[in-house]
Structure 1
Amino acid sequence: MKKLLILGAGMAGTIMANKFSRVLDDRRWHITLVDKDDTHYYQPGFLFIPFGIYTQEDVIKPKNKFFPKDVEVRYSEIQKIYPEKNEVKLENGDILDYDYLIIATGTEIRPDEIEGMTGPLWQKSIFDFYTLEGSTGLAEFLKKWEGGRLVVNIAEMPIKCPVAPLEFVFLADDYFKKRGMRDKVDITLATPLPDAFTKPVAAHKLGDYLEKRNIHLETEFAIGRVDNEEKKIVSWDEREIPFDLLVAIPTNMGTRAIERSGMGNEFNYVPTDPQTLRAKEWENIFVIGDATDLTSSKAGSVAHFEGDILFENFMAVVEGREPEAHFDGHANCFIESGDGKGLLIDFNYDTEPLPGKFPIPGIGPFTLLEETAINHWGKMMFKWIYWNALIKGKELPVQTNMSMKGKKVPEEAEFVGAK
């Protein structure tokens, strides 16, 4: 009997368990899924908790609700992977062997990587919104906050859901307006990037939205430390930004199990073929989602699209064929902009976000790189799609690799692959 071992039961790992459970004969295959806890978090919802749009109950469900019945589930921390032995050691000492391994261990924030971040002000006037603890703590803080200097800081790239910090400042602007205290809050977004976003056309558009909302943009700010006594963040070149409330997006890193296993880069991400999703060093290991070192976004849509490609390539390999399906880095992300509106971007490795209609060319109903109410509702409807279809591995009416149909290339921009 062949053994497929999936490490990580977040979105990506759960999708793959469901997909393979449907096609692998349980008389010939045994699928095992390993994760450290039994609660599934709808992580895109963490963004909404600080502003009272979602509650904790909206973003958590039992993981076993989404697992196929014929998949063995082991709840444990992963101690170490031994790829040369085709073995994984769990924290309790158990050894799991495999014929094929899928690494879907994700990424996590590491505030300990920044000097002073976890000092006396941590979870008091310094919060994150990438964890349930951080977002719920921030929600309680904002209920009583009377205003001051709000600084949102991205420590370094890559981060999970790169548009989320922008969404946070847009929602904060809307939140304080509705509370009648926007004039009491100074909002600054401090980023290590040279602009508001990684892609030029989108960065120009998003930068305009920041300016219109009187949100200050501090670019090329590489945080070196947090001064808890004077309440300021200091960059490596000694630039200083004072704060009354710091919303931090600390360094993102892959799981420590990857580090212990010697399988990752300096951020504990596994070197992965950007097209086939095979681990570069091991032919019987595939990697998906935030655990990869790919230059694509670390976003839920990417894991979804990767899942389709990984599925095809895995089946090819186990049938003795070469993996021919190629992932193009496709990502699409709704961007909440406040006041019941949102934007949508769609891009891949070679082509940046462009204006147009999505998913039906010329029709939509979503408009790319424009602020519309329907884009907002697309974002809000995604939670239902996530719980009821996406993590169950069901087919969705969105093309896996990006299409240029319905997109418009601005004359002043140059794009590789935009044809």
Structure 2
Amino acid sequence: MTHRAKAAAAGNVVVLGAGTAGTMLVNRLRRRLDDSWTISVVDRDDAHAYQPGFLFVPFGGPTDALVRSRHAFVHDGVELMLDEVDRVDPAARQVLLTGGRALPYDYLVVATGSTPRPDATPGMLGPQWRRTIFDFYTLEGAKALAEALKKFRGGRLVVHVTDLPIKCPVAPLEFAFLADDHLRRRGLRDDTELVYVTPLDGAFTKPIASGRLGSMLTDRGITVEPDFLVEEIRDTTLVSYDGREVPFDLLVTVPLHMGADLVTRSGLGDELGFVPVDRHTLQSKADPRIFAVGDASDIPTSKAGSVAHFSVEILVENLADLIEGRPMSHSFDGHANCFVESGDRKALLLDFNYDTEPLPGTFPAPYVGPMSLLKETRANHAGKLAFRWVYWNVLLPGRPLPLASAMSMVGKQTPEKEVHHARHDS
């Protein structure tokens, strides 16, 4: 929609966090709401990172332009405040900054994301950190890992996921595939044992995708250690709660992810600091004037940029409904899609929501695609690389994309269709 919500009286929306979800939200809100409404967004610094780019850094990918100024992507009609938030006072409808200033709000949106917490696992931040234990979910970690891989000459390389949820849950799989490809190109694959350690019972959370991705791990000779919940890292060994041990020469770990501390201090979060919300409206279960979007919420789908994009579109319209005095009329279906880099300049594409798991087929159009679902293609790899431009130039500024926020079954093959096609082909 391009029309603006007309407010009966002036008001204000405050957004906490100017990351992917927060920036998209304020830019879309500014276009959607009447000018009598002020929109403010608060973040602690002026550094906006393109996090999908971190995955490629350990393998020689570029580091330039991965971090840019937040000011460059926030609409002129939005107030961007660089400050630390102490806590939210829902009773007073105020955001309290660490310097003592109070920001009143009519509606508050928490978009503070999620943060890797290596300090939460005993031994992870010990003497082996950035020596034999690395992460790639931060730019600093990805750069350090790049140097470690340059020096790596073989041994046991373990890719490890501490627990879910995490940002971009397919990224650890992508790293394993890219590591396999990288080592083959360097002539080190036969000298390296690759192990994928996961708390899941398979490669992914959904059966069809898990089967496909699991077979890809097997085909590449990558050993999977499932149902592994790490208790501690003891020197150069992962130790699980059930006593299993996985030694390593080089560990690439995805630490536990948690929400912002301010969410916990404000009494708005669960045990991990994520905001419990209605999964369709994104409205806080604790306060009807508070919402959470992006990685900051506890909705049961991927913490991924696509989820932020699709859910922001829903949230903008629901906020406009409330401001105009109507009940919320839009519902988020959990739509997510993501490319999965698989090495050799190929990638898969997953498209799913709360009720439908990733299925094979073509995207966005039937038969012609041009993207293939659950299938390795160079077109998918090109799509992932092209997304960086789309991110900076279309998504963040809040410009429309020709993709519906709700997932479509067009082009997808259900298990029944797959059986029918198999019989027909035979």
On whether the aligned pair clears a TM of 0.5, the verdict is yes
5+ unaligned residues in a row in structure 2: which ranges?
1-9, 420-426
CA distance, structure 2, for counterparts of residue 407 and residue 24 of structure 1: 36
Greater shift, 17-26 or 28-37, is seen at 17-26
The one-letter code sitting in structure 2 at the alignment partner of 1:87 is Q
Residue 137 (str. 1) matches residue 140 (str. 2): no
CA distance, structure 1, for counterparts of residue 417 and residue 79 of structure 2: 54
**Which position in structure 1 is the counterpart of 2:121?**
114
Residue 385 (str. 1) matches residue 390 (str. 2): yes
**Which position in structure 1 is the counterpart of 2:263?**
258
**Which position in structure 2 is the counterpart of 1:322?**
327
**Which position in structure 2 is the counterpart of 1:48?**
56
**Which position in structure 1 is the counterpart of 2:409?**
404
Aligned with residue 239 of structure 1, among 244, 251, 259? 244
> By how many angstroms is 1:58 displaced?
3.4
Q: Is the 8 A contact 1:171 1:338 kept in 2?
A: yes
**Which position in structure 2 is the counterpart of 1:347?**
352
TM-score by length of 2: 0.94
**Which position in structure 1 is the counterpart of 2:424?**
none
Residue 20 (str. 1) matches residue 29 (str. 2): yes
**Which position in structure 1 is the counterpart of 2:422?**
none
**Which position in structure 2 is the counterpart of 1:248?**
253
Residue 279 (str. 1) matches residue 293 (str. 2): no
CA distance, structure 2, for counterparts of residue 199 and residue 262 of structure 1: 32
Aligned with residue 306 of structure 2, among 294, 298, 301? 301
> By how many angstroms is 1:23 displaced?
2.7
The one-letter code sitting in structure 2 at the alignment partner of 1:183 is D
**Which position in structure 1 is the counterpart of 2:377?**
372
CA distance, structure 1, for counterparts of residue 207 and residue 343 of structure 2: 22
CA distance, structure 1, for counterparts of residue 418 and residue 302 of structure 2: 21
The one-letter code sitting in structure 2 at the alignment partner of 1:219 is P
**Which position in structure 2 is the counterpart of 1:224?**
231
CA distance, structure 1, for counterparts of residue 17 and residue 180 of structure 2: 36
Q: Is the 8 A contact 2:45 2:82 kept in 1?
A: yes
Deviations 1:332-385 (A, max 9, x none): 000000001000010000110000010012210000000000010010000010
The one-letter code sitting in structure 2 at the alignment partner of 1:23 is R
CA distance, structure 2, for counterparts of residue 263 and residue 284 of structure 1: 12
Deviations 1:89-125 (A, max 9, x none): 1122211111111110000011111111100011111
The one-letter code sitting in structure 2 at the alignment partner of 1:131 is T
The CA RMSD over aligned residues, in Å, is 1.3
Q: Is the 8 A contact 2:32 2:320 kept in 1?
A: no
CA distance, structure 2, for counterparts of residue 327 and residue 312 of structure 1: 11
**Which position in structure 2 is the counterpart of 1:154?**
161
Aligned with residue 184 of structure 1, among 186, 191, 209? 191
Deviations 1:223-270 (A, max 9, x none): 000012xx1000001100000111111111100010111110001010
The one-letter code sitting in structure 1 at the alignment partner of 2:373 is L
Q: Is the 8 A contact 2:14 2:107 kept in 1?
A: yes
**Which position in structure 1 is the counterpart of 2:220?**
213
Identity %: 52
Q: Is the 8 A contact 1:201 1:413 kept in 2?
A: no
TM-score by length of 1: 0.96
CA distance, structure 1, for counterparts of residue 133 and residue 255 of structure 2: 11
CA distance, structure 2, for counterparts of residue 295 and residue 337 of structure 1: 25
**Which position in structure 2 is the counterpart of 1:2?**
11
Residue 61 (str. 1) matches residue 71 (str. 2): no
The 3-state SS of whatever aligns with 1:58 is: coil
**Which position in structure 1 is the counterpart of 2:100?**
93
Q: Is the 8 A contact 1:152 1:165 kept in 2?
A: yes
CA distance, structure 2, for counterparts of residue 404 and residue 20 of structure 1: 29
Deviations 1:264-321 (A, max 9, x none): 0001010111011111121111210000011011000000000110011010011111
Residue 73 (str. 1) matches residue 80 (str. 2): yes
CA distance, structure 2, for counterparts of residue 62 and residue 180 of structure 1: 40
**Which position in structure 2 is the counterpart of 1:417?**
none
**Which position in structure 1 is the counterpart of 2:174?**
167
5+ unaligned residues in a row in structure 1: which ranges?
415-419
> By how many angstroms is 1:25 displaced?
2.9
Q: Is the 8 A contact 2:33 2:320 kept in 1?
A: no
Aligned with residue 337 of structure 1, among 327, 337, 342? 342
Moved beyond 4 Å, runs of 4+:
none
**Which position in structure 1 is the counterpart of 2:134?**
127
- Give the paired residue count: 410
CA distance, structure 2, for counterparts of residue 288 and residue 90 of structure 1: 21
The 3-state SS of whatever aligns with 2:337 is: strand
CA distance, structure 2, for counterparts of residue 116 and residue 22 of structure 1: 48
